[in-house]
Structure 1
Amino acid sequence: MDLDWRSVREEYTVFADAAVLALNKPSGISVTGERHDTDLVELARAAGTQLYPVHRIDKVTSGLVLLATDLAAHGPLTRQFNNQTARKAYLAIVSGADLPDRGEIDLPLSVGRKNRVRIAAPREAIKRDGDRWSVEEADLLPAKNYPSRTLFSTVARHGDRALLALRPVTGRRHQIRVQLAWIGHPILGDPLFDRTATLPRTHLHSWKLGLAADWLAPPILDLEATPGPDFWEPLARDTDEAARLLDTARQLTDT
């Protein structure tokens, strides 16, 4: 993807002030730290702008990413992610529609071979009890594990696909992608888990962020990034249908 920083700012800015910049990042662009690809931080630096990522989303994930432009704002914002007080919501289109209206995935993560994130237990140890997936402590692998919890609502079902609104309570690397895959509902187009996919992108979108921001009045940073048409392609036939699905997702997450 051939981009310049001015174009990125003009096309993808959701919110900007003297302290932060929030972008609605397209799928396929890294936030920072990619050795072989141009990332947002490097793109900005080449144009004379220094960015300090408050959090990261995967290259294949679209949507909200928050970057500090004032270093003094960076620490208080990142601490909210570390302390799990940042309010986050994602949208995902997954394979399989046999999901409850609301659910909880309480599956710890671990790091396996080649630094790959996995559930910290054998797949057969995962148990579903109504609307909750978990493993017994006795089934955990001997490696270090990280408690990881995600809440979700099923927004819509269409054939063998479903649209989910998800709230990751913890914020582990690849958390949503791994947990959904291991309960049998991989995200469409995910190169890690959707082996038969021919879709051009991964259908995971960073949708909402809510954080305390003491320099604002009121002191709340409340952000939302609307998914682009490419996100909706597996479900919505037109922009009106996509708008209806998004409105349903808002109703479910606001209650």
Structure 2
Amino acid sequence: MTMWADFRERVILEDDGILVLDKPAGVSVMGERHESDLVRMAAEKGEELFPVHRIDKVTSGVILFAKDLSVHGGLTRQFNKRTVDKAYLAVTTPGGLPPTGRIDLPLSVGRKNRVRIAAPRESIVLKDDTWTVPASAVFDTVSTYPSVTTFTVRSQTAERALLEAVPQTGRRHQIRVHLAWIGHPIVGDPLFEKSPAGRTYLHSWRLSFDHRGERVTVEAPPPPGFA
């Protein structure tokens, strides 16, 4: 059983106000029913952590916590105002993507609380390396959320592509849903792959934020074999 001491060995940066951790895939940040999560494991050892943002259980990499509520508010406001810079690494299938791309597709929440594109799949249009839908195709019967992801291809074959993906907005499951709906799902993603054999190949790679008057950039190298 993984203990909090094991996660303590994965700390990237820490001071008396923040803790940045390289989270392994398969571990929740907080709030998972019937399972231990990072916040709960830390609390059991007398450490109080306040998540500043979330990454999915299946996603590995950089996660930022505040150690004090007086610090937490200023950090979360940066995420709300989109002054934080985030970059992820993702392995998708198949290859054949343009060197750079922009996915400008609104999201909505459908049945069973599943995130989806807020328009019919057949209405998605690719033009000048940008995926969009006409305004007339966007659903008007549910709440919709403008969402943009940009990417750069680091390497690719006919079967796979390694991307650096940047979420310009911070919607739940945004990168996973955007890539899947343009026909390039992330390898091992249980949202779109039945009974995946291995991990989900999405990694929170880099995070930049302001802390105590300085711009801080932290990185978590992808796990061995990720690429």
Matching residue's letter, 1:156? S
**How much has 1:72 moved relative to structure 2?**
1.1
Query: For each residue in 1:146-190, what CA deviation from the matched residue of structure 2 results, as whole angstroms up to 9, or x when unmatched?
Result: 000011000001331000001100000000000000000000000
**How much has 1:196 moved relative to structure 2?**
6.9
Could you state the TM-score of these two structures normalised by the residue count of structure 2? 0.97
Matching residue's letter, 1:231? F
* Residue equivalent to 1:51: 49
* Residue equivalent to 1:225: 220
Q: Distance in 1 between matches of 2:176 and 2:114?
A: 12
**How much has 1:133 moved relative to structure 2?**
0.2
Q: Does 1:156 align with 2:151?
A: no
More RCO (CA 8 Å, sep 6+) = 2
**How much has 1:230 moved relative to structure 2?**
4.5
Q: Distance in 1 between matches of 2:212 and 2:160?
A: 41
* Residue equivalent to 1:167: 166
Q: Does 1:67 align with 2:62?
A: no
* Residue equivalent to 2:138: 140
Query: For each residue in 1:219-249, what CA deviation from the matched residue of structure 2 results, as whole angstroms up to 9, or x when unmatched?
Result: 11111001111523xxxxxxxxxxxxxxxxx
User: Structure 2 stretches of 5 or more lacking a match?
Assistant: none
**How much has 1:47 moved relative to structure 2?**
0.6
Preserved contact between residue 106 and residue 146 of structure 2 (Cα < 8 Å): yes
Q: 1:84 aligns with which of 74, 82, 85?
A: 82
The alignment yields a C-alpha RMSD, in angstroms, of 1.1
Query: For each residue in 1:124-163, what CA deviation from the matched residue of structure 2 results, as whole angstroms up to 9, or x when unmatched?
Result: 0111002000011110112110000011000001331000
Mapping of residues 239-254 of structure 1, within 5 Å: none
Q: Does 1:120 align with 2:118?
A: yes
Q: Distance in 1 between matches of 2:23 and 2:146?
A: 28
* Residue equivalent to 1:252: none
Q: Does 1:202 align with 2:200?
A: yes
Percent identity between the two aligned chains:
54
* Residue equivalent to 1:5: 4
Higher helix fraction (1 or 2): 1
Q: Distance in 1 between matches of 2:113 and 2:195?
A: 23
Matching residue's letter, 1:194? E
Q: 2:93 aligns with which of 77, 92, 95?
A: 95
- How many aligned residue pairs are there? 226
Query: For each residue in 1:196-231, what CA deviation from the matched residue of structure 2 results, as whole angstroms up to 9, or x when unmatched?
Result: 742x1000000000001125xxx1111100111152
The change in CA–CA distance for 1:197 and 1:158 in structure 2 (over 3 A counts) is farther
User: Structure 1 stretches of 5 or more lacking a match?
Assistant: 233-255
Matching residue's letter, 1:119? I
Q: Distance in 2 between matches of 1:112 and 1:121?
A: 11
**How much has 1:3 moved relative to structure 2?**
1.4
* Residue equivalent to 1:41: 39
Q: Distance in 2 between matches of 1:40 and 1:166?
A: 25
Q: Distance in 2 between matches of 1:224 and 1:61?
A: 15
Q: Distance in 1 between matches of 2:19 and 2:223?
A: 19
Could you state the TM-score of these two structures normalised by the residue count of structure 1? 0.86
* Residue equivalent to 1:21: 19
Q: Distance in 1 between matches of 2:60 and 2:163?
A: 15
